Amino acid sequence: MRPGDRVTEVVIKVISAGSNTLEAIQVHFEDLQNGKHRALELDSFSTPVVGKKAARALIDDWDLDLDALYWRQPYFVPARRKTPKLVHKILFSMPAATPPDKLLGAVRNFAQQEFADRHRYALALHTDEPHPHVHMVLKAMAEGWEYHLNIRKPMLQEWRKDFAHHLRALGVAAKATRRMASRKMRTSRLQGIYRPVNRRQAGYHS
């Protein structure tokens, strides 16, 4: 890294669409590994998932149909306006100059540190666009049905910091500035409209 070079802000986005139906999740699994520049792998052993049949089998392998049945039980209906997510779809993205192998390595290390032995997950590196990015599909229900994971803003900020740390460990300059703080630095016109951030690390629900 040369003096004057700008350090890239890491990007982690949570994608909401189609996260609580088995059909949509199956299509998503198939799409993630569909194409020459796309590859899907499984959990901390980086097991390749090759072909649509193997992608479809993840629904059974992860017992997602059982999770879906669980949330349809009558005693959940009055208390919930919508069915909780079966999986979380998370996107990790960096600029075009980022080596794809290091991006994937950083996401692998982050996922293993954060989720190993607690949540099933799959990763898919995509290099068919100018900027490399990694899709993560994360099972919301923990192994052993100990809790259901809900992602909140404080948790996502901690993930950004950890992801940046793993990138730097592999030689990729990256940072995770608090977005609210960076917006305050860029402009004074919005001074005073920010609400206090709820700092509880909420997200794990029994």
pLDDT at residue 70 in the model: 82
Low-confidence ranges of the chain (pLDDT < 50): 1-4, 180-206
Burial class (CB in 10 A: 0-12, 13-18, 19+), 9: middle
pLDDT of residue 56: 86
Q: Report the Cα 149 to chain-centroid distance in Å.
A: 12
**Cα(187)–Cα(74) distance, integer angstroms:** 50
Residue in 88, 100, 94, 109 with CA at minimum distance from that of residue 46: 109
Query: Which pLDDT score is estimated for 114?
Result: 94
Q: Which two tokens stand for residue 123?
A: 């990763």
Task: Answer whether 110's CB lies under 8 Å from 158's CB.
Answer: no
Report the run of H or E that residue 107 belongs to, with start and end.
helix 100-115
- Length reported for the chain: 206
Q: What is the pTM of this model?
A: 0.79
**64: Cβ contacts below 8 Å, ≥ 6 apart:** 22, 25, 58, 86, 87, 139
The type of residue at 27 is V
Q: Is 48 helix (H, G, I), strand (E, B) or coil?
A: strand
Query: Which one is the CATH code of 8-205: 3.40.50.2300, 3.30.420.10, 3.30.930.30, 3.90.650.10?
Result: 3.30.930.30
**Cα dihedral: 120, 124, 108, 155 (round 10):** -70
The string of pLDDT tens digits covering residues 25-74 is 999 998 888 777 788 888 878 888 888 888 889 999 999 999 888 877 76
d(CA 32, CA 55) in angstroms, rounded, equals 9
What are the domain boundaries of the chain? 8-205
Burial 149-160 (b: 16+ CB within 10 A, else e): bebeeebebebb
Other beta carbons within 10 angstroms of residue 174's beta carbon come to 22
pLDDT averaged over every residue in the chain: 80
